[in-house]
């Protein structure tokens, strides 16, 4: 029975991780930046929502404000940092170091403002337990996480295939130079991409802490797991990233049956090494 | 006086680490945030050997260096075969995994409480118990490290590494193995980091996981970025400057609860500012 419960928990964390993975993949496939500071945006969303809830704002409103704030924040990172670096013809390595710097700045501003201790949302309904069948238990927060994540995944797929902006983004991603001469304005599209990805990563950033609480430095591990899911799923494939995120979360949860939870990062990393050795292009990689 | 002694000794240990990070990031062009993990492995190995009286200091240091070389080769080889970006993941992964091992493997590493009471270093059967002797040892370590770095960069191998930074494709077209050069650079970086770890453990006689976490790796990267990539001068300037910085911060009146966060915040700001306005650092070449 424990195995079944772990399986269900794996789906919950997997869905949340999947959103981190598709948002990161969106940035990586389009702007071609290894956006390490994404982990900082993820954490920021949670803290904004926590602060608003503590001030007495109802949770849905707090979530919407946090999403909007993250979108704006992401756009600022793109416009003030990455676009500026691109203008100065910075190498890939320079951009990476700057991104790591931005992550350090975001995390430590949060740590200075809110202290490094775990903060919990003061929302009794979030931890209400629902029983499914005999022994399966799920909290309200977990149910919301799954529902919102699946909806956001569907929404992103539709946005990418069905809307004009989504098509423009894919066009710019496949060939920035051609995008420039056909007046798609790649730079502006990049700002949109970063805003959308940041809004998207804010969802798990708020929903996961409902269950587990907030910590300033807790964004790096989910981001690392999500990038591994993206690589294993095949860079550029949103479905691949989402599915592999769930698979990795399942493996992590089931590994709890045989070893303590502190080592789950080892499991994740093991998966990455296996993929690198045997299928570096990932499972769902598009034919090139 | 003691304060100056420990500043000089720590700074010279960090110069070794700076050289190690510089070899990877500046010269081979591999982004790495796991140098602190390798540093930690070196420190724990030397601590283990000395505390259990298995060997004397120098053989222990050699074992640590060899282990760190092997670790760095194992880590870089698969990731670099595929793509440079994958090494970012490997690097973060190694760092988080190492922190997990240092914190949770209580039997070997003392867990979060760390390992207290590491014996002081000894040379030719004589224990170096005074601080002055330890400072001299660290300075010697730094001098040897700098000499090796200087010789390597003058040698054909150093020119090959520089050429790779300029144009990888051209080097491959000229019939040189880019992968082999990068892995060799990484192995040398491992040797430096392992040696630095051994010196650090014996100098402080106490190690715990917080000295080898992600923040420590970011500090190392900041040292190289501020000092300057790809030059010997840069790897010396950076550590001496950045280790002095917390002392200046203590003069500014900030509450002690946020002091650690404020320090890391400053490192982050330095990384961004230098990348935007002076990517070559104070005394380096183009990054």
| A231 has a chain B CB within 8 A of its CB | yes
pLDDT at B214 over 50: yes
- Which one of A90, A104, A265 has the shortest CB-CB distance to B275? A90
Q: In this predicted model, what pLDDT tens digit does every residue of B58-101 receive, in sequence order? A: 999 999 999 999 998 888 887 777 777 888 888 898 899 999 99
Residue numbers in A near B269 (CB within 8 A): 101, 105
pLDDT on residue A128: 85
Residues of A in contact with B104 (CB under 8 A): 260, 262-263
Best residue of B37, B89, B216 to probe chain A, by most A CBs closer than 10 Å: B89
- Which residues in chain A (154-193) have CB-CB distances under 8 A to chain B? none
- Cα of A267 to nearest chain B Cα, Å: 10
Q: Hey, is the C-beta of B82 within 8 angstroms of any chain A C-beta?
A: yes
A114 touches chain B (CB under 8 A): no
Q: Give this prediction's pTM.
A: 0.92
Binary contact (B97, A220; C-beta < 8 A): no
User: Which residue in this structure is represented by tokens 């992590």?
Assistant: A252
Distance from CA of B100 to the nearest CA of A (A): 7
CA nearest neighbour of B10 among B254, B257, B243: B243
Q: Which pLDDT belongs to residue B10? A: 92
CB-based contact B287 A93, cutoff 8 Å = yes
Q: Where are the beta strands (DSSP E) in chain B?
A: 115-116, 122-123, 126-127, 206-207
- Chain A residue numbers with beta carbons less than 8 Å from the beta carbon of B85 are 34
Calpha distance A275→A36 (Å, rounded) = 21
A89 touches chain B (CB under 8 A): no
Q: B97, B108, B119: which is closest to B204 by C-alpha?
A: B119
CA nearest neighbour of B216 among B39, B13, B24, B90: B39
- A169 against B259, higher pLDDT: A169
Check residue A285 and give its pLDDT: 67
Is B259 within 8 Å of chain A by CB? no
Q: Are B111 and B126 in contact (CB under 8 A)?
A: no
Q: Does the pLDDT value for residue B170 go beyond 80?
A: yes
Q: Does B252 touch chain A (CB under 8 A)?
A: no
CB contact under 8 A, B84 and A92: yes
Instruction: Please indicate whether, in this complex, the C-beta atoms of B275 and A228 are within 8 angstroms of each other.
Output: no
CB contact under 8 A, B262 and A108: yes
Give whole-number Cα distances, A283 to A76, A241, A242, A244, A286, in Å. 34, 9, 12, 9, 9
| CB contacts, 8 Å: A85 with chain B | 275-276
Structure tokens that stand for A207 in this block:
């929903």
Integer Cα distance of A119 and A34 in angstroms: 29
- Give the separation between CA A237 and CA B228, rounded to whole angstroms: 38
Q: What angle do CA A123, A124, A129 make, to 5 degrees?
A: 125
d(CA A135, CA B42): 48
Q: What is the 3-state secondary structure (H, E, C) of B113-125?
A: HCEECCCCCEECC
B100 with A108: Cβ contact below 8 A: no
Residue A260: its chain B contacts at CB < 8 A?
104
Q: Do B261 and A116 touch (CB under 8 A)?
A: yes
Instruction: Scan residues 122-151 of B and list those with Cβ closer than 8 Å to A.
Output: none
CA distances from A42 to A205, A248, B47, B244, B259 (A): 5, 19, 38, 33, 24
C-alpha distance from A64 to closest chain B C-alpha (Å): 28
CB contact under 8 A, A224 and B92: yes
Strand B126-127 versus strand B122-123 pairing type: antiparallel
pLDDT at res. A111: 94
Short-list A214, A57, A211, CA closest to A144: A211
What pLDDT, on a 0 to 100 scale, did the predictor assign at position A288? 43
Per-residue confidence in pLDDT tens, chain A, 288 aa: 788 889 999 999 999 999 999 999 999 989 989 999 999 999 999 999 999 999 999 999 999 999 999 999 999 999 999 999 999 988 888 999 999 999 999 999 999 999 888 999 988 888 888 887 777 888 999 999 999 999 999 999 999 889 999 999 988 888 888 888 888 888 999 999 999 999 999 999 999 999 888 999 989 999 999 999 999 988 888 899 999 999 999 999 999 888 888 888 888 888 888 888 788 788 876 544
Contact B281, B224 (CB under 8 A): yes
ipTM field: 0.90
* A111/B261 CB distance under 8 A: yes
Q: Which of A41, A226, A104 is nearest to B214 (CA)?
A: A104
CA-to-CA distance for A52 and A34, rounded, in angstroms?
31
The answer to whether the Cβ–Cβ distance between A100 and B100 falls below 8 Å is: no
Which chain A residues are closer than 8 Å to B36 by Cβ?
A: none
């Amino acid at each position: 029975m424990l195995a079944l419960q772990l399986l269900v928990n794996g789906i919950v964390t997997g869905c949340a991780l999947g959103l981190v993975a598709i948002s990161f993949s969106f940035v990586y496939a389009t702007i071609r930046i290894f956006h390490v500071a994404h982990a900082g945006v993820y954490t920021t969303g949670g803290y904004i929502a926590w602060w608003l809830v503590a001030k007495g704002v109802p949770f849905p409103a707090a979530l919407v404000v946090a999403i909007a704030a993250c979108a704006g924040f992401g756009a600022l990172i793109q416009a003030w940092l990455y676009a500026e670096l691109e203008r100065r013809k910075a190498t890939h390595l320079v951009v990476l170091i700057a991104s790591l710097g931005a992550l350090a700045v975001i995390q430590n501003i949060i740590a200075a403002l809110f202290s490094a201790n775990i903060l919990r949302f003061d929302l009794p309904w979030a931890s209400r337990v629902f029983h499914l069948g005999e022994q399966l238990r799920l909290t309200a927060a977990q149910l919301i996480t799954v529902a919102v994540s699946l909806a956001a995944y569907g929404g992103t797929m539709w946005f990418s295939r069905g809307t004009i902006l989504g098509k423009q983004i894919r066009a710019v991603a496949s060939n920035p130079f051609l995008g420039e001469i056909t007046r798609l304005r790649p730079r502006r599209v990049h700002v949109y991409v970063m805003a959308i990805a940041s809004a998207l990563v804010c969802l798990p950033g708020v929903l996961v802490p409902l269950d587990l609480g907030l910590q300033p430095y807790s964004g790096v591990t989910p981001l690392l797991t999500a990038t591994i899911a993206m690589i294993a799923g095949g860079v550029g494939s949103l479905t691949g990233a989402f599915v592999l995120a769930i698979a990795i979360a399942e493996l992590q949860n089931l590994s709890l049956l045989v070893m303590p939870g502190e080592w789950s990062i080892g499991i994740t990393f093991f998966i990455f090494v296996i993929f690198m050795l045997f299928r570096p292009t990932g499972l769902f990689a598009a034919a090139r | 006086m003691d304060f100056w002694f420990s500043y000089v000794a720590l700074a010279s240990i960090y110069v070794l680490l700076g050289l190690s990070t510089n070899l990877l990031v500046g010269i081979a062009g591999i982004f790495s945030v796991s140098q602190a993990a390798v540093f930690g492995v070196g420190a724990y190995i030397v601590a283990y050997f000395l505390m259990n009286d298995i060997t004397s200091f120098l053989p222990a240091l050699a074992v640590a260096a060899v282990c760190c070389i092997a670790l760095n080769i194992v880590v870089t080889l698969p990731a670099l075969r595929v793509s440079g970006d994958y090494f970012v993941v490997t690097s973060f992964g190694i760092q988080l995994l190492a922190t997990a091992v240092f914190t949770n493997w209580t039997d070997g590493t003392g867990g979060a409480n760390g390992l207290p009471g590491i014996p002081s270093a000894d040379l030719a059967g004589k224990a170096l118990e005074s601080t002055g002797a330890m400072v001299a040892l660290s300075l010697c370590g730094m001098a040897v490290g700098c000499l090796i770095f200087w010789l390597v960069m003058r040698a054909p191998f150093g020119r090959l590494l520089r050429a790779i930074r300029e144009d990888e494709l051209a080097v491959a077209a000229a019939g040189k193995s880019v992968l082999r050069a990068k892995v060799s650079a990484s192995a040398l970086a491992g040797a430096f980091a392992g040696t630095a770890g051994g010196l650090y453990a014996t100098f402080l006689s106490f190690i715990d996981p917080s000295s080898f976490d992600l923040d420590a790796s970011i500090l190392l990267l900041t040292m190289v970025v501020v000092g300057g990539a790809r030059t010997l001068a840069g790897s010396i300037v950076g550590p001496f400057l950045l280790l002095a910085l917390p002392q200046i911060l203590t003069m500014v009146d900030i509450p002690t609860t946020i002091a650690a966060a404020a320090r890391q915040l400053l490192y982050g700001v330095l990384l961004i500012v230098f990348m935007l306005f002076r990517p070559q650092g104070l005394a380096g070449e183009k990054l």
